[in-house]
């Protein structure tokens, strides 16, 4: 009851595409920090949306796992904005580490540790029938103990439509799988696995691997990097609503191609990456199969959390 009175809002921590984030603490304890994320939903969209969104978010509160950000509370304020009270994660996100090529050095063992945490988080969500749909390095936040946590889980789903109308040209498409780019209406956990594969690729090369500046451009770059989706490698693809690919088609890339770019991940690492970037979502590796892959058992062993690199 009266969730909003349990927390005290403090200084602004940051501003996102569709939210302002504030530091907060429990009214009953000045040292129990939280992050309060105030979603900017225009009044017009708020009508009818807020109750639904709150209901959906409420069940996300039940998702409890070390690699998923804890949603401690949800309430709407008098301005009709939606407030999410989240676990406070002060060490930034994976994008900051990837981009800081001057200040942060990391290697194959660190990548394996971060990928392990990401994969376990995704596996747990999929086990619980929750899709993320917006996995990218900037949504992978880092806790004080080095644990990587998936953030914004389920938000992409609750807010997809109003979000798209308001900000369609600022949302990054770089991690979006081909089935969504082709307008598929039915999709599965495979959408998240594609994004996880692109995060893996980016951790290795320290720059986004497939960075199109339009949806058409993104499809073109996927065809170059991975291969062109065709009826041969993906039966039914040409029936998807927005299917269009450049001519002539590029054959699906083979292991030697990936080894040239991602060789530092090792043979097992490259094998796993290729299985995440399979074009036909039905043949893409599942989160459960990711966790069973031989890469985790091959050398080097993942770095322990306390030894992982941090932002400077």
Give the residue among 309, 300, 310, 306 at the shortest CA–CA distance from 109.
300
Query: Which chain residues interact with ligand ADP by CB under 6 A?
Result: 13-17, 19, 21, 35, 69, 86-90, 138, 141
Distance separating alpha carbons of residues 84 and 100, to the nearest angstrom: 29
Is 294 noted as a catalytic residue in this protein?
no
Beta strands in 263-303 (DSSP E): none
> Which residue, 112 or 149, is less far from ligand ADP as judged by CB?
149
Letter string b/e over residues 162-172, b meaning 16 or more CB atoms within 10 A of that residue's CB: bbeebeeeeee
Q: Name the minimum Å distance from CB 6 to ligand ADP.
A: 17
Smallest distance from ligand ADP to CB 86, Å: 4
Q: 136, 141, 15, 158: which is closest to 74 by C-alpha?
A: 158
Query: For ligand ADP, which is the closer residue by CB, 15 or 47?
Result: 15
The DSSP line for 80-139 is S-EEEEEE--TT-BHHHHHH-TTT----HHHHHHHHHHHHHHHHHHHHTT-------GGG
Which residue's CB is nearer to ligand ADP, number 86 or number 278? 86
Closer to ligand ADP by CB, 19 or 237: give it: 19
Longest dimension (CA), the chain: 65
Task: State the nearest-atom distance from the C-beta of 223 to ligand ADP, in Å.
Answer: 29
Q: In the complex with ligand ADP, which residue's Cβ is closer, 14 or 300?
A: 14
Shortest-Cβ-distance residue relative to ligand ADP: 16
Q: Residues 182-206, buried b or exposed e (16+ Cβ, 10 A)?
A: bebeeeebbbbbbbbbbbbbbbbee
Catalytic residue among 134, 145, 161, 256: 134
State the nearest-atom distance from the C-beta of 303 to ligand ADP, in Å. Answer: 23
Give me the sign of the Cα torsion angle 149, 152, 157, 161: negative
The residues, any chain, with a CB within 8 Å of residue 248's CB and separated by 6 or more, are none
Minimum distance of ligand ADP from residue 214's CB (angstroms): 20
- Report, in Å, the least distance between residue 19 CB and ligand ADP: 4
Query: In the beta sheet, which residues pair with residue 37?
Result: 21, 84
| Torsion 254-242-186-202 (CA) sign | positive
Residues designated catalytic: 134
């Amino acid at each position: 009851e009266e969730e909003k009175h349990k927390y005290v809002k403090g200084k602004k921590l940051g501003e996102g595409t569709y939210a302002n984030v504030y530091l907060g603490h429990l009214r009953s304890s000045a040292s129990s920090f939280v992050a309060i994320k105030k979603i900017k939903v225009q009044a017009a969209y708020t009508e009818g949306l807020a109750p639904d969104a709150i209901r959906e978010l409420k069940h996300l509160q039940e998702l409890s796992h070390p690699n998923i950000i804890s949603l401690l509370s949800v309430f709407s304020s008098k301005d009709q904005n939606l407030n999410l009270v989240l676990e406070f994660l002060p060490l930034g996100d994976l994008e900051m580490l990837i981009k800081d090529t001057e200040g942060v050095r990391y290697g194959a063992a660190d990548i394996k540790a971060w990928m392990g945490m990401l994969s376990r988080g995704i596996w747990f969500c999929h086990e619980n029938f929750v899709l993320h749909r917006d996995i990218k390095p900037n949504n992978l936040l880092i806790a004080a103990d080095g644990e990587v946590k998936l953030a914004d889980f389920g938000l992409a789903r609750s807010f997809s439509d109003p979000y798209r109308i308001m900000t369609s040209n600022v949302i990054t498409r770089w991690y979006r799988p081909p089935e969504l780019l082709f307008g598929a209406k039915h999709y599965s956990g495979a959408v998240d696995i594609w994004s996880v594969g692109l995060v893996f690729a980016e951790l290795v090369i320290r720059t986004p691997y497939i960075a199109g500046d339009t949806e058409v451009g993104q499809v073109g770059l996927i065809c170059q990097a991975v291969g062109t989706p065709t009826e041969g490698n993906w039966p039914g693809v040409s029936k998807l609503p927005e299917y269009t690919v450049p001519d002539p088609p590029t054959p699906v890339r083979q292991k030697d191609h990936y080894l040239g770019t991602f060789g530092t991940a090792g043979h097992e690492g490259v094998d796993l990456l290729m299985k995440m970037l399979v074009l036909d979502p039905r043949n893409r590796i599942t989160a459960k199969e990711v966790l069973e892959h031989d890469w985790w058992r091959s050398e080097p062993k993942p770095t322990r959390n306390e030894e992982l690199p941090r932002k400077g």
